[in-house]
Amino acid sequence: MKTKTKVAAILENAILIDLSVFIIFAPFSKHAVKTAFWIAVVLWVLISIVKFGAKFCKHLIPATPLNKALLFFFSALIVSTVFSKDFGHSQSVFFERYLVYLIFFLIGSRLAGKRRNLFILTGAFFLGSLLIGTGMIWDYIHLSGDRFLYTCFGRGFHVAFYLVLYICLSSAIVFFAENKLLKAGGLMILLLLLPGLIFHASRTAWITVLAMILVMSFIKNRKLLLCLFAALITGILLLSPLLKQRLPLLGERAVAIFDPVTWRGGEAWGGRIELWETALAIFRDFPVFGAGPGMYEKLLYEYGPAGGYPYGGVHLHAHNSYLEIASELGAVGFLAFLWIFTVFFRNAFKSIRLLQDNNIMAIRTGMTGSVLGILMVAMACTLMTVGMQDAAVFWFLLGMASQTLYITVYE
């Protein structure tokens, strides 16, 4: 028995190292994500075999509040794949993307059930945020100073996704954690990432981060809310001439919503309106089960505007996760997808005061805020069901967050 316990502990340490590397380097390399994924799968199965023997299969799927919603969603995915307009393409997307996301969710959920594991993986998120914050500042100093920050150490990726994730997580830890070391780490990350946010070009990220910080400060202390609001507005206006250039376009986008003349091809929307209309057109033709997983990228130009998309850009996705999911999975899959997050946030609100440990409560709040922030950013980009980097991190984070909502006493 002692030997089994030691072997299981060694394997668990190995999977924690593997997934920490995945968290830190996911933005920079999809190959690192794939390698980490397969190592984690092997270790995950081995841990279950060592602990539970012949009955290991029963223990591969941890209990979380989202299990039924996920079952419904993946059932809808399978049906949508079967009735896909291109079965071969959809089934490859199902196995290469969605099944991978599900496994990342399950592993994240399983590991987050232990207090020690939760703190180790939170530390990996801290290291990842330090790397991204340092890389963005490095690029701003060493590259042209009059540009928007889309890169980190010269590598381009979806920077807004990670800014929202890490700023929401670190803000909650600063506001709610009791451990001084944990709070200091969160504050350092927050101070390192805010300059990157100020000089980044994503208006969706600006709005999301500002909203999440203000909500957290309101929960913590209403006087703090007023001070933070004044400081954020002052800092944005004084520190970022680039942001002041972008603010008129923010107003232009608001006007464009109500002005049909500026809808198509308008600079304020960067061609997104045409992409959204394409998704809606696909949904109208396949309203129940959709055109099939991954089919938006296959049908994009068939359903797109006759004159092509504005700015001559090459598009593969709808720049709106919800519209793309609706076009590919239809009403059934779209509602199943929304059900996952309805259950998640319902449990988040119910369990907010159940934990006596303020440090875990801070991490739980930060992860919940990060999930909500990413869902907000997804209104203007496609990231939760695309690729092996951002999406994999999101589903892993969701698995961890869902487990923290399920139990109130950690081992």
Considering only 15-19, 69-73, 196-200, 342-346, which range has the smallest mean pLDDT? 196-200
Whether the predicted pLDDT of 10 surpasses 50: yes
Q: What is the model's pLDDT at position 128? A: 92
Work out the burial of residue 137: count CB atoms within 10 Å of its CB; fewer than 13 is exposed, 13-18 middle, 19 or more buried: middle
Whether the predicted pLDDT of 334 surpasses 90: yes
More confident residue, 155 or 314: 155
Of the candidates 360, 374, 373, the one whose C-alpha atom is nearest the C-alpha of residue 405 is 360
Percent of the chain with pLDDT over 90: 31
Going by C-beta distance under 8 Å and a sequence separation of 6 or more, which residues neighbour residue 409? none
Q: What angle do CA 204, 206, 212 make, to 5 degrees?
A: 100
pLDDT in tens, 51-104: 777 777 777 788 788 889 999 999 999 999 999 988 999 999 999 999 999 999
The C-alpha atoms of residue 9 and residue 14 are separated, in whole angstroms, by: 9
The mean pLDDT of the chain is: 80
The CA radius of gyration of the chain, in Å to the nearest whole number, is: 22
Considering only 149-153, 160-164, 342-346, 401-405, which range has the smallest mean pLDDT? 149-153
**CA separation, residue 249 to residues 121, 158, 202, 243 (Å):** 39, 21, 12, 10
Q: What is the model's pLDDT at position 40? A: 93
- Give the number of C-alpha atoms closer than 13 A to the C-alpha of residue 322, restricted to the C-beta side: 11
User: pTM for this one?
Assistant: 0.87
Q: What is the model's pLDDT at position 260? A: 43
Whether the predicted pLDDT of 402 surpasses 80: yes
Q: Please give the torsion angle defined by the CA atoms of residues 27, 338, 173 and 197, in that order, rounded to the nearest 10 degrees.
A: 50
Whether the predicted pLDDT of 317 surpasses 80: no
More confident residue, 52 or 325: 325
> With bands split at pLDDT 50, 70 and 90, how would you rate the model's confidence at 1?
low
Q: What is the model's pLDDT at position 142? A: 75
List, in sequence order, every residue forming a beta bridge with 155; answer none if it has no partner: 152
Ranges of H-type helices in 53-179: 67-82, 87-93, 99-111, 115-142, 159-176
Going by C-beta distance under 8 Å and a sequence separation of 6 or more, which residues neighbour residue 292? 80, 81, 83, 84, 85, 86, 87, 89, 90, 328
